[in-house]
Structure 1
Amino acid sequence: MDPEMEIATDEKALRINLDPAKYGTFAEIGAGQEVARRFFRVGGGAGTIAKTMSAYDMTFSDAIYGRANRYVSRVRLQKMLDHEYDLLIERLDRKFGNEKTFFVFADTVAARSFKERNESHGWLGVRFQSQPRAQPSQIIIHVRLLDEGNVEQQEALGVIGVNLLHGAFYDRQPEKLISSLQENLAPGRIEVDMIKFSGPLFQNVDNRLMSLQLVSQGLTNAVMFKADGETVQPAEVFYKKAILVERGSFRPVTYATNDMLDGARRVFLAQSGCSEDDLIVLMEMTLEHLLAGGQLDHPDFLARVDVLGALGRTVLISRFGEYYRLAGYLFRYTNKPIGLVMGVPSLIQIFNEKYYTKLEGGILEALGRMF
């Protein structure tokens, strides 16, 4: 890690340690206790850290947080935050409640394994008070760890954990907090593909706009939210599902758009043998579609998304200009059939070789990746 980046991360951790109001718990599962370690290492941790713990063994973890179908999941993270925050208030509110703003940081992570090359990812969250005895607010994120080595992944996890805590405490503007998440990390080390703000401090925050910020600021290539506006991480939705996706600007959604999708759905179900319950239908907008006017127009974006939501559609926002990149992204999450719905103009564009000059195999490589 670059020495200057290391120093900058330590400065953030030290600022929190020297803040007399901050006091809380660190609960980390997987990839070591890398975030807590940062705070111990810089000094002054006794004034900030009430407890650290790491329940690696599933039996211990289940005994503390309850049983889980998947241990690296949003559900598990939420149980960790709930349990540790309630315990913190129960044990320390009477003693420190008038002077401290309590917080809980938790993460559950699957880092690079020695036995297999598993997907390296994790869920991180912080629940915190903005004032003594105030109702807590919360931020959760999902990250993909992109380093090849286990040690490097642990290091990156520690940095983004410090960034998340520092942003929650001192960068109350969500857009600024999002931009700070990758500070002191070299490009390509970590991806943040889901974020959710909740609680009184963020009651006016629209998480769909925050998801859009992740894409526009380059923290990820794609984000998703369901028809009800709930932000989701792709693996939560795509796991063991067939996918049918239609790309467009949806400004507006036309009868032709819906007719084409409905027809494609019938053909796809018949040819793939999938059931309706095993199919996810997506409406995808690229960043290029949203920047048609030269800049992001948030009201226009929300208007399009609201219409799609009213139609019961799940929305994907991506940076994938080429269809083969979209297909590659979807194949990462499922081994079930994937269908791309498009009209004749889009089909003609696929065979335009100018889009594949950066690929060594040109159009043949692109088609191979797509199919």
Structure 2
Amino acid sequence: MPITIMGDKEFESVPSIKSKALRINLNQNIYGTFSEIGAGQETVRNFFRAGGASGTIAKAMSAYDKDFSDAIYGIESDKRYVTEARLKKMLSHEVNLMEERISREKHPNKLFFSYANTVATIDFAKKYKGHGWVGIRYQTVPNEEYNEISLHIRFHENDARLQQMTLGILGVNLIYGAYYKYDNPKKLLRYLYDHLDKDQIEIDTINFSGPRFNKVDNRLMSLQLVKNGMTEAVIFGPDGNNILPARILYKKNILALRGSFRPVTKVNMDIYKKSLNRFLDENKVDKKKTEVIFEITLSNLRAEGEIDEKDFMDRARLLCSLGQTVMISNFQEYYKVVEYFSNYTKERMALAMGVNNLVDIFDEKYYRHLSGGILEAFGKLFFKDLKVYLYPLKDHTTGELTNSDNLKVHPRMKELYKFFKYNGKLQDITDYDPDIMDVFSREVLQMIHEGEPGWENMLPEGIADIIKENNLFGYTAEATKTV
């Protein structure tokens, strides 16, 4: 069992940064190092000023000079310093030194930690606002394996001194939360913004690991970032870990597919495969420099009320099992997705969608908040030679297919629609699979809920087995009807 750290009484109000630092300092067991590069020693400064730091701070350092930093932590293959790899080297190096230099026999109850950050604050031209990696590797039980929390931040303030102060507050919140809120990661996440505003700093990636977090799914923590308004979008890979958006999107060609994926069907995968083939062929782009993103919006997750986290995890698990990269976003309008991707790349972009999604794009109600209305939105959406690949819709009753030629939009939108269609912005997927045109996610979901047979054949290979083995989407073997 973890050692009780000065009791577990909750503060009735949010404790001050000084109070948090002092509480850490006065604990006779918490002991560790601070390594801060790029924005001064702003975190450890709070602990020095709080008092009683001699029993907590083993060492505080800032290896600012690149050569000196390389001599301590090694040389990065990409010659960059503000990276996740650099952060992890810092944490690992300092923990190893502490284990080597401090006798466990003399200090059997010590809870070692290493806090580190590597950041770049705003430049003099104020063109780049800055970003950084922040993390802690620590113990809650002596001699236990280390836990780790690492996160990526983006600064939004326009003054380097303010950014330094913000980083210092965040660092204290992280260390305090790591020791006093590790049993409730969702709450820990919210407490990172104590005495901070979301206009000051953005957290767009976070990962938890170690024995205290062995039941934490980082995809669910990604969802919390967007849900809490800490960032507009998060990305996680097939392995379930969160990925820094800049790392995966930078200078890439991007094809994005938005959907509910509840569950992912053969139609979803047909749209993916056919649109990707067209994207690669038409634009002569390198497949190795192309990223496909399956996007689920927060509004889609809230379609039936409050977000059902299990339902979200069911969708995420299936997409990851198919080897896909998933983005959770707060972008209801498509032009915001394109703007977001444009922050990271100037290469080719395309959106793949069904007929209903395209009809929504031409619905004026989504653009009333813009002074330029739908024209402003379309200017942002198509300014980069963006392509839209349209998958046809089959009418269940008549069997008629709807594509870009017979799609109906509001009369006021007809001319705008024609402009984008006949200028090559909108292209039909013509090599679709006609045998799966009657497959709809909502109907598959209903069949699963009602125990109707036959839904398995509507899903990609292996997906039905995962649903059954893990009882996803409310599946129960007992409810299955026999024919």
What is the CA–CA distance in structure 1 between the aligned matches of 2:107 and 2:339, rounded to whole Å? Answer: 50
Aligned counterpart, 1:281: 292
The answer to whether 1:44 aligns with 2:48 is: no
* Aligned amino acid, residue 156 of structure 2: L
2:21 aligned partner: 13
Gaps of 5+ in 1: none
Structure 2 unmatched ranges of 5 or more: 1-12, 383-483
C-alpha displacement of 1:133: 2.0
Q: Please give the alpha-carbon distance, in whole angstroms, between the structure 1 residues aligned to 2:339 and 2:159.
A: 23
Provide the residue aligned with 2:142 in structure 1. Answer: 132
1:115 is displaced (CA, Å) by: 4.8
Match for residue 133 of structure 2 among 123, 131, 155: 123
Aligned to 1:27: 35
How does the TM-score come out when normalised to structure 2? Answer: 0.74
Per-residue CA deviations over 1:217-242 (Å, capped at 9, x if unaligned) read 11111111111212111111112211
Q: From the CA coordinates, give the structure whose radius of gyration is larger.
A: 2
Residues 257 and 352 in structure 2, CA contact (< 8 A), matched pair in contact too: yes
Residue type at the aligned position of 1:135: E
Which aligned pairs between 1:208-357 and structure 2 lie closer than 5 A? 208-357=219-368
Give 1:7 deviation, angstroms.
Answer: 7.5
1:149 aligns with 2:171: no
Number of aligned positions between the proteins: 367
Q: Supply the distance in 2 between the matched residues of 1:331 and 1:304 (Cα, whole angstroms).
A: 27
Please, what TM-score do these two structures have when normalized by structure 1? 0.95
Give structure 1 regions of 4+ aligned residues with deviation exceeding 4 angstroms: none
Contact (CA 8 Å) 1:224, 1:317: kept in 2 or not? yes
Residues 23 and 102 of structure 1 are in contact (CA less than 8 Å); yes or no, is this contact kept in structure 2? yes
The aligned residue for residue 82 of structure 1 is 92
Q: 1:103 offset after TM fit, Å?
A: 0.4
User: What are the superposed Cα offsets for residues 262-296 of structure 1, whole Å, 9 maximum, x if unpaired?
Assistant: 12112211222211101110100011111222122
Aligned identity (percent) is: 49
Which residue of the partner structure matches residue 113 of structure 1? 123
Distance 1:292 1:354 in 2: 18
| Secondary structure at the counterpart of residue 250 of structure 1 | coil
Task: Determine the C-alpha separation between the residues in 1 that align with 2:84 and 2:99.
Answer: 23
Correspondence for 2:433? none
1:92 to 102, 106, 109: 102
In 1, distance between residues paired with 2:47 and 2:234?
31
- The residue identity in structure 1 corresponding to 2:167 is L
Residues 175-194 of structure 1: pairs in structure 2 closer than 5 A: 175-194=186-205
Contact 2:126 2:158 survives alignment (8 Å):
no
